[in-house]
Amino acid sequence: MSTDVRSELKKPKKKKVLLMGKSGSGKSSMRSIIFSNYIARDTRRLGATIDVDLSHVKFLGNLTLNLWDCGGQEAFMENYLSQQRVHVFSNVGVLIYVFDIESRDVDRDMATYVSIISALTQYSPTAKVYVLIHKMDLITPHAREAVFVDRVRLVRQKTSEFIQGAGYTGELDLIPFATSIWDQSLYKAWASIIHDLVPNLSVIESQLGSLGVLIEAEELLLFERTSFLVVSNWTSEEGQNNPTGDRQERISNILKHFKQSISRFTGTPRNAEQFTLMEHKAGSRFSMFACKFTTNTYLMVILPPGEARFNSAKLNCQIARESFKFLDGPVTPGQSYN
Amino acid sequence: MSSRLRGLDAFDPDGSGEQPCETSSSLAQQALTRVYEQDQRLRKNGSRVSDQPPDLSSKGKPRLLLMGQRRSGKSSISSVVFHKLPPSETLFLESTARIQKDTMPSFMDFQVWDFPGQIDIFDNPTFDIDAMFGEIGALIWVIDAQDDYLEAVARLNVTILNLQRTYPNIKIEVFIHKVDGLSDDYKLDIQRDITIRIQDELCDHGFENAPVTFHLTSIYNHSIFEAFSKVIQKLIPRLGILEAMLTNLCRTCRFEKAYLFDVLSKIYIATDSEPADMASYEICSDYIDVIIDVTEVYGSWPRTQKYREALEGPPWNQKIEDQVASGCAESCMVLSDGNKPIILREVDKYLALVAIMKEDSYDKMPLVNMNVEVVVQGVKEFFEITKPK
- SS3 label, residue A300: strand
Q: What is the pLDDT of residues B293-312, one digit of tens each?
A: 999 888 888 888 888 888 88
Q: What is the SS3 assignment for A114?
A: helix
DSSP B3: B
Q: Which of residues 133-162 of A touch B (CB under 8 A)?
A: 137, 140-141
Residue B35 CB partners (closer than 8 Å, separation 6+): B92
**Nearest-by-Cβ selection for A308 from B299, B316, B362:** B316
DSSP per-residue codes, A210-254: HHHHHTT-SEEEEEETTT--EEEEEE-TTGGG-S-TTHHHHHHHH
Residues 6+ away with beta carbon under 8 Å from A142: none
Q: Chain B contacts of A238, Cβ < 8 Å?
A: 303-304, 307
Cross-chain CB nearest to A281 (options B9, B27, B330)? B330
Is residue B23 within 8 A of residue A302, CB to CB? The reply is: no
DSSP B337: G
Which residues on chain B are in Cβ contact (under 8 Å) with A286?
7, 298-299
Closest B-chain CA to A180:
B26
- Nearest by CB to residue B337, choosing from A218, A268, A283, is A268
CA dist., res. A219 & res. A299, Å (int): 10
Residue A329's pLDDT is 65
Q: What confidence tens digit (pLDDT) does each residue in B68-115 have?
A: 888 888 889 988 888 888 888 888 888 888 888 888 777 777 788 888
Verify whether the Cβ–Cβ distance A306 to B323 is below 8 Å. Answer: yes
Cβ–Cβ below 8 Å for B332 and A279: yes
b/e for B107-130, b at 16 or more Cβ within 10 A?
bbebbbbbbbbebebeeeeebeee
Q: Which residues of B310-343 are buried (b: 16+ CB within 10 A; e: fewer)?
A: ebbeeeeeeebeebbbbebbbbbbbbbbebbbbb
Mean residue pLDDT across chain A: 85
Confirm or reject contact between A181 and chain B (CB < 8 A): no
CB nearest A141 (choices: B26, B293, B329)? B26
Q: Across the interface, do A282 and B295 touch by the CB < 8 Å criterion?
A: yes
Given a cut of 90, whether residue A134 has pLDDT beyond it is: yes
**Predicted confidence pLDDT, tens digits, chain B (389 residues):** 467 777 765 433 343 443 443 344 455 555 566 656 655 655 554 444 333 444 434 445 678 888 888 888 888 998 888 888 888 888 888 888 888 888 877 777 778 888 887 777 666 666 777 777 777 778 899 999 888 888 888 888 888 888 887 887 788 899 999 998 888 899 999 999 999 988 888 888 887 777 788 999 999 888 999 998 988 888 888 889 999 999 999 998 888 899 999 888 888 989 998 887 888 899 999 999 999 999 988 888 888 888 888 888 777 777 877 788 777 888 888 887 667 888 899 888 889 999 998 877 788 888 888 999 999 999 999 888 877 66
What is the band of A336 on the pLDDT scale with cuts at 50, 70, 90?
A: very low
In this predicted structure, the answer to whether residue A296 has a pLDDT above a threshold of 70 is yes
Query: What is the C-alpha end-to-end distance of chain B, expressed in Å?
Result: 23
Chain B residues in contact with A180 by the CB 8 A cut-off are 26
- pLDDT score recorded for residue B167: 80
Spell out which residues of chain B touch residue A277, defining contact as CB-CB under 8 Å.
332-334, 362
**Residues A283, B329: C-beta atoms closer than 8 Å:** yes
pTM: predicted TM-score of the whole model, two decimal places: 0.82
pLDDT, position B60: 56
Give the closest of B9, B279, B296 to A265, CB-based: B279
Instruction: Give the rounded percent of residues in chain A with a pLDDT score beyond 90.
Output: 31
> Which residues of chain A have a CB within 8 Å of the CB of B298?
218-219, 242, 244, 247, 282, 286, 288, 302
CB–CB contact A283 B282 (8 Å):
no
Q: What is the mean pLDDT of residues A163-173?
A: 76
Please, which residues bridge with residue A223 across strands? A230, A298
Interchain proximity A265–B283, CB inside 8 Å: yes
- Of all residues in chain A, the percent with pLDDT exceeding 70 is 92
At B137 the three-state DSSP class reads strand
CA distance B324 to chain A (A): 4
B298 and A288 within 8 Å at the Cβ level: the answer is yes
Average pLDDT for A66-76: 90
Q: Using the predicted structure, report yes or no on whether residue A9 has a pLDDT greater than 50.
A: no
A308 closest CB neighbour out of B298, B323, B331 = B323
A240 touches chain B (CB under 8 A): no
Contact A236, A221 (CB under 8 A): no
Contact A189, A147 (CB under 8 A): no
- Predicted-complex ipTM score: 0.84
CB contact (8 A) between residue A180 and residue B329? no
- What does the alpha-carbon distance between residue B80 and residue A259 come to, in Å, rounded to a whole number? 23
Residue A270 near chain B (CB below 8 Å) = no
Average pLDDT (A284-305) is 90
Closest partner CB to B329 (pick from A275, A278, A282): A282
Cβ within 8 Å of residue B209, ≥6 positions away? none
